[in-house]
Amino acid sequence: MRTADLAVYLVTDPRMGLGRGLVETVRLALEAGVRTVQLRDKEASTRKLLDDASALLALCREHGATFLVNDRVDVAMAAGAGGVHLGQDDMPADAARRLLGEDAVIGVSVRTGEEARRAAEDGADYMAANLVYPTATKTDLPDPLGPEGIRELRSACDLPLVAIGGIDAGNAAEMIGAGADGLAVVSAIMAAEDPAASSARLLDAARKALAGRDS
């Protein structure tokens, strides 16, 4: 997967949106330049997930963006999504690859160097440092990793790495300086009064930090 597409990576949350609705919020983010979207809804029925996946996939195709489904390989297959994002308790990446094919994008959430190396061995395309800072959208994990956790994961393997959990434009440079290749965000876009403006600020911060790190 191109690391450029991971600069700002939107993870959806149906509880947010300030009345705009899921599709409209994602549309605004895509128009601002976001190029990876993950449908994440732990409570939706399979039918609702499939309906939302179909709508978001159409939007992502219009904007040349990658569309992924969280956890549910079956929904990704049925919708024709670009791939899946998997947790440590989900289907292993190598098994998902056999089902979804060589062209699918497969990401894995990791917290330790061992998990990062296993994700690479299983053929994942990228990994997500889960969770960097405390956030209301993820309450089932132990202590946040912080920048030091990003550095540990970066040293464990060379898969593209995104940071998730409490990420915003203000800490973008710190995350990328520690070794992240992109910023995975939920509330910074989903709950923003102006998702397009928030997406643009995040993209600007991420791109400047990446350019400074690589220069």
Task: Say whether 42 is catalytic.
Answer: no
C-alpha separations of 55 from 17, 23, 59, 116 in Å: 16, 7, 7, 32
Task: Say whether 109 is catalytic.
Answer: yes
**Set 138, 151, 207, 213: catalytic member:** 138
Q: Which residue is associated with the tokens 């809804």?
A: 41
Cβ atoms of 150 and 132 within 8 Å: the answer is yes
Cα separation, 142 vs 145, in Å, equals 9
**Set 109, 187, 198, 199: catalytic member:** 109
Cα separation, 73 vs 85, in Å, equals 9
* Nearest CA among 174, 203, 173, 178 for reference residue 188: 203
**Set 35, 40, 111, 154: catalytic member:** 40
Task: Say whether 40 is catalytic.
Answer: yes
Instruction: Please identify every residue annotated as catalytic.
Output: 40, 109, 138
